[in-house]
Amino acid sequence: MPESFLLGRLLLQFNSEAADIITDLSAVALTPDGNLWVGSDETTSLERLSPVGPHIFGKHQRFAIADFIDLPGKSEIDIEGMDFSSDYLWLVGSHSTKRNKTKGKNADKDIERLAEIETDVNRYLLARIPMKDGILCESISHSDNQREQKVGCLQRTKTGNFLTDALKDDSHLGLYLSVPIPSKENGFDIEGLAVRGNRIFIGLRGPVLRGWAIILEIEVEEAEPGVLRLKEIGKRGKLYNKHFVDLNGLGVRELCWNGKDLIVLAGPTMTLSGATRVFRLKGILGRSGDSITGQDGGDLEVLFDLPFKVGTDNAEGLSLFPYLGEQNSLLVVYDSPDAGRMVEKNAILADVFKLG
């Protein structure tokens, strides 16, 4: 197994208002203007960081998602993926249910909590927000072609949104949505997003089926201002494609593009401390239907394992980042980071690896 090569680190400096989220970073995207956008699985906001020095990002600005998109609940979105494409910043929530945590104070109550499964409506979010000059906008007009880009959110339903409703009759995933099985118990759990034009690839942390992880592919179109619906794709008018990939039994933790290749960050589906592995998936843009890709044909290769620490440094966010002359370096941000990453109460170190 090739070893990871750490090129260096970035210092991410946040305002004091964000000191409580820097230990819960779950998504990152580098936009063409040089800004870094990060998301946390514990908030309802997006955070923009701008370059302030060599390998240092600061000038933190927070953007409340509710300023652009109606959020029906008050709980966190559980942001698990971000990408930038065609002047839109895309984001996705986990779309998952959760089992209550124990508190360690009363055994009987803890046992009761373990029987409680909750659904947060804000988690069922797939949205795009136009961006101009590093600022999120409700809409952007393009005078050259009279085109207007607007905020859009996949249509919500009583039980989730159009995507989860479409999957309820799926032969592979339907059971996981109809029961429903909580996240981190091999339940339905989105933790990856990569957008290329009108094609949206969504990585699932779970379920993993007999060792095969799943990447969903969809397209969307505007049904009415601010509302997106699934668009039929392929020759048979399907609403989604399923791409099964052999990630050595791991689930998808994040996706990002490297040219036409998809870089896949993979990690344990359950709440386990284990290896986090980086893969390269080739040729996915050339596929027109469901697919299954093992590691024998050359379209899926293991690149390296990230350094492993028990109970800390859970790799969550992924983005290409130019570093020390390497244009295709890989930026990684962490949930539950090691204490050594904490520079101050509101500053943390992210890693940059050689991609090769």
pLDDT at 1: 66
Percentage, residues of the chain above pLDDT 90: 83
Rounded Cα–Cα distance for residues 260 and 243 (Å): 16
Instruction: Name the CA radius of gyration of the chain, rounded.
Output: 19
pLDDT in tens, 289-317: 999 999 999 999 999 999 988 889 999 99
Confidence of residue 87 (pLDDT cuts 50, 70, 90): very high
Rounded Cα–Cα distance for residues 216 and 154 (Å): 15
Average pLDDT on 264-276 reads 90
Q: Is residue 316 left, alpha or beta, with left meaning phi > 0 and alpha meaning psi from -120 to 50?
A: alpha
According to the 3-state scheme, what is the secondary structure of 206-235? EEEECCEEEEEEECEEEEECCEEEECCECC
pLDDT at 20: 77
pLDDT at 141: 86
Average pLDDT on 149-167 reads 95
pLDDT at 46: 96
Confidence of residue 344 (pLDDT cuts 50, 70, 90): confident
pLDDT at 146: 64
pLDDT at 322: 95
pLDDT at 75: 82
Q: What is the pTM of this model?
A: 0.96
Q: What's the longest Cα–Cα distance across the chain?
A: 66
pLDDT at 234: 74
Cβ-based neighbours of 112, under 8 Å, separated by 6 or more? none
Average pLDDT on 243-247 reads 98
pLDDT at 161: 96
Rounded Cα–Cα distance for residues 225 and 216 (Å): 25
Confidence of residue 145 (pLDDT cuts 50, 70, 90): low
Is a pLDDT exceeding 80 seen at residue 235? Answer: no
- Integer angstrom CA distances of residue 179 from 96, 123, 166, 168, 210: 12, 17, 15, 10, 19
- Integer angstrom CA distances of residue 217 from 131, 285, 314: 24, 10, 26
Strands 56-64 and 79-85: unpaired
Chain centroid to Cα 43, Å, comes to: 14
Average pLDDT on 325-349 reads 92
pLDDT at 180: 84
* Residue carrying the six token digits 């050339």: 286
Rounded Cα–Cα distance for residues 164 and 167 (Å): 5
Rounded Cα–Cα distance for residues 278 and 5 (Å): 12
Q: Is residue 283 left, alpha or beta, with left meaning phi > 0 and alpha meaning psi from -120 to 50?
A: left
Cβ-based neighbours of 197, under 8 Å, separated by 6 or more? 85, 86
Mean pLDDT of the chain: 93
Contact status, residue 92 vs residue 65, Cβ threshold 8 Å: no
Rounded Cα–Cα distance for residues 90 and 152 (Å): 10
Vertex 28: Cα angle to 278 and 306 (nearest 5): 25
The DSSP output letter for 294 is: -
pLDDT in tens, 180-230: 899 999 999 999 999 999 899 999 999 999 999 999 999 999 999 999 999
